[in-house]
Amino acid sequence: MEEYDVVVVGGGPAGCMAAKYAAKEGASTLILEEDAEIGEPVQCAGLISKRAIEESEIKNSKSFISCELKGAILHSRSYELRIESPSPDKRAFAIRRSVFDKELAKEAQKEGADIILRSKVESVKKRGKETKLTIMAATANTNANGEKEIVATVVIGADGVKSGVAKMAGLKVAKNFLNCVQIEGEYEIDEAFVEIFVGKTIAPGFFAWVIPIAENIARIGLCIDKRFSSLSNPVPFLKRILSEHPVIAKRYKGSTSNFNAGRIPIPVGAGVGLRGKMRMQKQKTVKIDDGVGVLLVGDAAAQVKPITGGGVYYGMKCGKIAGEIAAEACLEGDMEVLKEYEKRWLKEIGKEIAFGLKIHRLRCIISDEDLDTICHVLSQGDMMQLITNRGDMDYPSFVFRELLKNPSIIKLMAKNIIRYLYAK
Ligand SMILES: Cc1cc2nc3c(=O)[nH]c(=O)nc-3n(C[C@H](O)[C@H](O)[C@H](O)COP(=O)(O)OP(=O)(O)OC[C@H]3O[C@@H](n4cnc5c(N)ncnc54)[C@H](O)[C@@H]3O)c2cc1C
């Protein structure tokens, strides 16, 4: 039977990064991926920051960048707000996730991690002083049922939004999800700006996007929060904007490819901790059981930005921590070390997620008229300057905190306070 210090379930950005760092720290490491190919199928708009590209540590970023974006245009019912990136350092990029993920996997292999594809982890069970993973494997050495057992000291669940590892370990991190859909299609593009469209009939509880990826080709998609939507299926909303939205329908040229649909986890609970500091609550991403342990990372741990739905940057960041800590626990033979993982990742992004959850909740309950008010406030000189200079897609809370101090927004909040407090 094969034995590893660390077995990572899932070969997405979080899993590859966790494996890379576990192997780098000296732990014998294996990634088990159910699909036949790393990075496929893609369920992502592929919009990431320069910081995220640096975090990936991939040298040849040209291999996966489709388009460098100069800024963003925000469309509400009555406003069109153009926000230009002040410097190349602040630019976002549209990437090819399939290539990006493969590069991350190669980096993990370079550090010594093994990867087995076409291997779906069916169960994670503790037996004695070890954890046995049963996988349905398309590889040799399986039993009559096509199953194989692998032994691990630490299992890292990087198996995405539906995380089976989380369920098997009894760690629940998300109760609610955004339902998302996206196509690639011909679209008239004037400039390399990402466009965001907000409004209850466009994408209730979230937003729609158009992301240029090549000359006159864009990714067009949206997410909805079904708790605040008349329909839980996002497809009719996409069909509607493609055929009826005054901006999108005019520029969308009809041909469609690469349809993809997926979910984004909304982390559970956020609250105010000691000294009024915002912090995450109820988040459990570590399980220790008599000499073995389980960690969750990436979407499996709901490590996503609630305001934008982006999870690639946080997944990689937390993957590094998970890998390092898992290796340390194995090499020291002390599973108590695993507790450090949750402390460290919450310290890095816990407050940002907690604050983001509050903004998400607010956006879900306000009217299109309120969204116009927000756009109006954002369009004013000082706010515009603040967004341009301090706006940050990975850490958006700074700008939102400033926005919440504006008298018009305070009035808007006061008007909506009851609905906000009683929102699901
Ligand atoms: C429509 C859409 C658009 C998005 N756009 C963006 C964006 O623009 N920018 C951004 O930052 N984020 C975006 N996201 C979120 C982003 O895709 C995720 O946050 C990110 O992929 C999470 O990485 P991960 O490694 O945690 O999980 P994943 O990338 O989901 O990888 C999990 C892996 O685990 C494997 N797996 C699952 N179960 C098992 C099992 N039992 N055994 C073995 N393998 C298993 C899966 O096959 C998969 O390869 C978007 C999401 C959606 C749905």
Reported as a single tens digit per residue, the pLDDT across 359-368 is: 999 999 999 9
Residue 129 placed within a domain: yes
Token pair 């707000």 is found at 81
Give me the pLDDT at residue 344, please. 97
d(CA 3, CA 153): 8
Which string of DSSP letters, residue by residue, matches 243-264?
HH-TTHHHHEEEEEEEEEEEEE
Ligand 1 pocket mutation pick from 30, 38, 44 by most atoms within 8 angstroms of CB: 44
Residue 131's beta-bridge partner residues? 126, 152
Ligand 1, atom nearest to 122 Cα: 41
- Domain that includes residue 313, residue range: 2-67+94-174+275-353
Q: Which segments of 98-173 are extended strands (E)?
A: 114-116, 119-127, 130-137, 147-157
- Residue 188 reports pLDDT greater than 50: yes
Give me the pLDDT at residue 203, please. 97
Whether ligand 1 lies within 6 angstroms of the CB of 370 is answered as: no
Whether ligand 1 lies within 6 angstroms of the CB of 218 is answered as: no
Q: Do 133 and 274 contact (CB within 8 A), yes or no?
A: no
Residue 386 placed within a domain: no
Residue 245 placed within a domain: no
pTM: 0.95
The CATH number assigned to the domain holding 145 equals 3.50.50.60
Residue 247 placed within a domain: no
Residue 311 placed within a domain: yes
Q: What is the DSSP letter of 63?
A: G
What's the CA-to-centroid distance between 52 and ligand 1, angstroms?
15
How many domains are contained in the chain? Answer: 1
Residue 157 placed within a domain: yes
Residue 395 placed within a domain: no
Question: pLDDT category, 186, cuts 50, 70, 90?
Answer: very high
Residue 177's beta-bridge partner residues? 265
d(CA 405, CA 396): 15
Ligand 1 pocket mutation pick from 38, 266, 299 by most atoms within 8 angstroms of CB: 299
State the Cα angle at 111 between 295 and 59, rounded to 5°: 105
- Residue 130 reports pLDDT greater than 80: no
Residue 164 placed within a domain: yes
- Residue 39 reports pLDDT greater than 90: yes
